[in-house]
Amino acid sequence: MSADTQTSLSPELETRRAAMALLANAPEETLKAAWDALDTPPAHTVIRQPETGLVMVRGRAGGTGAPFNLCEATVTRCVVALDTGETGFGQSLGRSKAKALYSAIFDALLQTKDWSEYVETHVLQPLNTATQAAEHQTREEVAATKVDFFTMVRGD
Amino acid sequence: MYVAVKGGEKAIRNAHKLMERDRRGDRTVPELELKQIAEQLYLSVSRVMSEGSLYDLELAALAIKQARGDLIEAIFLLRAYRTTLPRFGYSEPIDTAAMLVRRRISATYKDLPGGQLLGPTYDYTHRLLDFKLAADGELPEPEKGAYDPDADIPRVTDLLNAEGMMEPDPETPQDAEIGDLTREPLAFPADRDVRLQNLARGDEGFLLALGYSTQRGFGGSHPFAGEIRHGEVEVEFFVEELGFAVPLGTMTVTECQMINQFKGSTVAPPQFTRGYGLAPGQSERKVMSMALVDRALRCRELGEEATAPAQDEEFVLSHSDNVQATGFVEHLKLPHYVDFQAELELVRRMNKDWHSKEANTAQAEEAAQ
C-alpha cells in the first residue's frame, strides 16, 4: 500500500517526513527544551491524546522476499491542531507521551508560515547535526574494525 | 483432569514478600537501575525483547530486574504486558540493506564491497576472565578509522544472485495475507512467514540445539554464514490520515543470511539456497540458529525428504516457544492433590491385583510340582 506512495511524495511531504524522522529519533529532553525555549507558545488543541500502543514490525524473508511479522514494538502517538488550523502528528517508538505531544506540535508548526523557519532552524537543524555526528562517530569506530584476513596457502 | 485448589492467600502473599526481599538482596549494595541493565546487560535485554517479541529496552530491563535475571520469566512478563496495549497496526517491512551498520561480516567472501566490519564482538577473544572488570578497570576509548561516506554495503546474497548461483527470494502475490501468530494460532502446514515469526520468537537454546543438530548430520545442510549484519534500521508506519508511511524512529536488529549448498531436486536446480534469521537487538547466536532451522524447515518447498528433527515442522514450531514450554513444564508444581489421589488409588489396586496374581501363579506352580 505504501511502497508506491512513498516514492511519489511531494517536496512538502518529503520535508515533513524528514522532520518526523528527526523528531522520532530525538530524546524527549531535547524536544522539551526546544518547547520551553519558545517565547510565546502557540495555542493548540490536543485532538488525539497521547496514547501508547503496539506496532507489529515486519521484516522480509531473506531481506528482500515476502514480508513476515518480526516482533511488536511500543509506539506512542498524538495528534494536535493549532488555533490557526494546521494539524500535527507525533509518533515514535517507545512510551514517551510528552515526546509524542511535542513532536505533534512541531509537526504542526512546520506547516505554518510564521513558524516553519523557526522550527527548521532551532529544532530540526540541531537534531540533524546531532544525528549526523552520532552516525559519523559510529561509522568511524566501525571502520577501525575493518578486517583483512589473509588466506594461508595450503602446503603439500 | 486438573482439579483446582483454593485458599492459601496469606502464605502466598508472604512468599511473594519474601521473594521481593530476596530479589533486592543485600541492601547495603546499591540497587540496580533500569538504565544500568539496558546499557550494561544489553545482550540479555536483546534476548528478552526477541523472545518476548516486544521491542522496548526499558520494559525489557524492568522485566529482567523483576525476574532477578531469569530471562524466561522476564520474557513471560513482556508477553503478558503486551496484551494490555492496543494494536495500532503493522509497520512497513524494514529494509536491512539501508542499515546503519555496526557490524557486518561474511564467511564466504574475503573481499567484498563494504568490507568485513568486525564491530563490537566477542569473536577472537580468548575467553579469559577479565579481572580488571571486577576491579573497576579503565575503559579504553574506541579507535577511529576512515570510511567512504558514499560506499554502500550490499547484501552478500545479492552478489551471488547476480551470478545466478543463488536461489532468488521466492515471489509471493502482492496481496498475500501475512500470518500473525499473535492473532491466529499455529496451524500446519505452516507457511514460511508464520515459520519465521515463530522462530523469531523462539527460544535461543532450543534453536541453537536444533541448528547444531543439522550441522552434525541430522538433516545435514552444508551451511556458510553468507552474511551477518547488525545495526539500526528505520521503522515506518503507514498513517491513513496522512497518506504516507511516517518514520517511527530507528530500531536495532541483527540479521543472518545462511547460504547452503544444494544438489538440486526435481523442483529446483543445483544452486545455493538460503536460510534467514532476524531478531531485534544484538542477537547473533539467535539469528544464526534461526537461519539454520529456517533452511531445514524449507525441505518441503525444496523437494527434500524430511528425515531429521529440525526438518519436522510440527515438532520444531510446537516446541520453540519457551513461554508455552515453561508454562506446561512448570504447571507440574502446582497442587495436583486430587489427580494424584485418583492415580494413587488406581496404582494401589493394580499393585494388589499384580501381587495376588503372582501369588496365585506361585501356588499353581507349587501344586503342579
Work out the burial of residue A51: count CB atoms within 10 Å of its CB; fewer than 13 is exposed, 13-18 middle, 19 or more buried.
middle
- Is B87 part of a structural domain of the chain? no
Contact A57 B235 (CB under 8 A): yes
Q: What is the pLDDT of residue B365?
A: 87
**pLDDT at residue A5 is higher than 50:** no
- Is B287 part of a structural domain of the chain? yes
pLDDT tens series, chain B, 369 aa: 667 778 889 999 999 999 999 999 999 999 999 999 999 999 999 999 999 999 999 999 999 999 999 999 999 999 999 999 999 999 999 999 999 999 999 998 888 888 899 999 999 999 999 888 888 777 889 999 999 888 888 888 888 777 778 887 776 777 789 999 999 999 999 999 999 999 999 999 999 999 999 999 998 778 999 999 999 999 999 999 999 999 999 999 999 999 988 887 777 778 889 999 999 999 999 999 999 999 999 998 888 889 999 999 999 999 999 999 999 999 999 888 888 899 999 999 999 999 999 889 888 888 887
Domain span holding position B187 = 96-121+152-169+180-321
- Is B240 part of a structural domain of the chain? yes
Q: What is the pLDDT of residue B270?
A: 85
B56, B88, B172 member nearest A94 (Cβ): B56
Q: What is the pLDDT of residue B1?
A: 62
Q: Is A152 near chain B, with CB under 8 Å?
A: no
Instruction: Give the chain A residue nearest B98 (alpha carbons).
Output: A63
Work out the burial of residue B318: count CB atoms within 10 Å of its CB; fewer than 13 is exposed, 13-18 middle, 19 or more buried.
middle
Distances (CA, A) of B212 to A70, B207, B220, B263, B309: 23, 8, 10, 21, 11
* Cα–Cα dist B154/B164, whole Å: 17
Q: Assess whether B107 and B71 both reside in one domain.
A: no
Q: Assess whether B111 and B36 both reside in one domain.
A: no
Q: Assess whether B282 and B217 both reside in one domain.
A: yes
Number of domains in chain B: 2
- Is B275 part of a structural domain of the chain? yes
- Is B217 part of a structural domain of the chain? yes
What is the band of A3 on the pLDDT scale with cuts at 50, 70, 90?
very low
Helices (H), chain B: 9-24, 34-40, 42-52, 57-66, 71-82, 131-134, 156-162, 192-201, 204-215, 284-297, 299-302, 313-319, 322-330, 337-368
B86, B235, B274 member nearest A93 (Cβ): B235
Q: Assess whether B189 and B286 both reside in one domain.
A: yes
- Is B248 part of a structural domain of the chain? yes
Q: Which three cell numbers stand for residue A93?
A: 517508538
Q: Is B149 near chain A, with CB under 8 Å?
A: yes
Q: What's the gap in Å between the CA of A108 and the closest CA on chain B?
A: 13
Q: Assess whether B161 and B309 both reside in one domain.
A: yes
* Cα–Cα dist B48/B201, whole Å: 10
pTM over 0.90: yes
In chain A, residues 98-117 whose CB comes closer than 8 Å to chain B: none
Contact B93 A59 (CB under 8 A): yes
Domain ranges within chain A, ordered by starting residue = 15-135
In chain B, residues 1-20 whose CB comes closer than 8 Å to chain A: none
Q: What's the gap in Å between the CA of A7 and the closest CA on chain B?
A: 10
Of B82, B112, B142, which closes a domain? B82
- Is B285 part of a structural domain of the chain? yes
- Is B300 part of a structural domain of the chain? yes
Q: What is the largest CA-CA distance in chain A?
A: 83
Q: Which helix (H) or strand (E) holds A17?
A: helix A11-25
